Amino acid sequence: MCMVIFAPLFAVLAFATCGGYSGQIMVKVECLNKTQSNISISFNYPFRLQQVHFSAPLCEGTRKETLFLEGDNASSAQFFVTVSVLAFLYSLLATVVYFFYQNKYREKNRGPVVDFLVTLVFSSLWLVSSIAWAKTLSGVKTATDVHQILLSMSACRAHENLCEVLQEPIWTNLNMSVAFGFLNFFLWAGNIWFAYKETGLHKSTKRHPSRTPSEKRDSFRQYSQTSFDQSVAGFGQRLYNQGSFDLSSGGFSLPQTNLGQPMLYRQVGSPTSRGPLIFVNEM
């Protein structure tokens, strides 16, 4: 929902503050002979400053000189605006598809995968274009610095003439364009995780890997050996419990069963002798 609302809005603000910028510089030159001249210098997007020229008086009669600003910053500025426009158009298209063509969007998982890949691409483009534009803006400010322009004018380098700055360019919109560029980057980069979850790829990575035949054989051997040890231990315990010994009386008795009535036999001998008792079950 944040992408639906803020992505188109921030993209519009980014290219509007950069692409719609226009700056102006006004300088007043007063020569020693009391002649005054007001010089106006205008520049705008895409900031091909080497094409911006103006005429300045030489304070030698009516002679004037033509000066140019320095720097060609069109590539970075146009790259930034292009990324902003494309991001705006894609955000609108994705919003329409997401709300009105949800079935087509989910069909065979193509929509979420495409959205995830495009989100990765735009995140990278926003980062690169914002860094490039921020560096270019610094160059634009240096090239249009009013003190540098006054030093480039021959009349202002003479101490007997008076030069005064009447108007300087306002950089608020361009500074905001850089801020909106990085804000768009954080917005698109933060949406990478949500776009990845929509693809369902994270579910397939959680599956347990299948065991190889050798691992299965090792597991079966371990299970067989454990079962055999437990069986031997249980069998020995049963053998130990089968009979009971009475060492004090010197007798031996077999366990009784419920298969029949036991018969009692006594050892033949004297009546007073006590021999072992043997119980025999009749089947």
Whole-number pLDDT of residue 221: 58
CB contact set of 42 (below 8 Å; sequence gap of 6+): 22, 23, 24, 25, 52
- Give the number of other CB atoms < 10 A from CB of residue 65: 13
Task: Assess whether 192 and 96 both reside in one domain.
Answer: yes
Task: Assess whether 40 and 129 both reside in one domain.
Answer: yes
Whole-number pLDDT of residue 3: 67
Task: Assess whether 249 and 156 both reside in one domain.
Answer: no
Task: Assess whether 162 and 83 both reside in one domain.
Answer: yes
What is the tally of structural domains in the chain? 2
Evaluate whether residue 222 is within a structural domain. Answer: no
Task: Assess whether 118 and 66 both reside in one domain.
Answer: yes
Distance CA 58, CA 283 (A): 141
Query: What is the three-class DSSP state of 47?
Result: coil
Selection from 77, 86, 87 nearest residue 19 by Cα: 77
Evaluate whether residue 256 is within a structural domain. Answer: yes
Task: Assess whether 63 and 194 both reside in one domain.
Answer: yes
Task: Assess whether 188 and 283 both reside in one domain.
Answer: no
Task: Assess whether 179 and 48 both reside in one domain.
Answer: yes
Task: Assess whether 138 and 256 both reside in one domain.
Answer: no
Whole-number pLDDT of residue 199: 78
Evaluate whether residue 233 is within a structural domain. Answer: no
pLDDT per residue as tens, the chain (283 positions):
556 678 899 999 999 999 999 999 999 999 988 888 999 999 999 999 999 999 999 888 788 999 999 989 999 999 999 999 999 999 998 888 878 877 776 777 777 888 889 999 999 999 999 999 999 999 999 999 999 999 999 999 988 899 999 999 999 999 999 999 999 999 999 988 887 887 776 565 544 444 555 554 555 455 455 554 544 444 444 444 444 444 444 444 444 444 444 444 444 444 444 455 544 444 4
Task: Assess whether 67 and 191 both reside in one domain.
Answer: yes
Domain final residue pick, 151, 172, 204? 204
Evaluate whether residue 63 is within a structural domain. Answer: yes
Evaluate whether residue 226 is within a structural domain. Answer: no
Task: Assess whether 68 and 166 both reside in one domain.
Answer: yes
Task: Assess whether 159 and 281 both reside in one domain.
Answer: no
Q: Give the N- to C-terminal CA distance of the chain in Å, as an integer.
A: 85
Domain final residue pick, 204, 227, 253? 204
- In 34-192, which ranges are E strands? 36-44, 53-57, 64-68, 162-167
Evaluate whether residue 16 is within a structural domain. Answer: yes
pTM across the whole model:
0.68
Range of the domain at 252: 244-283
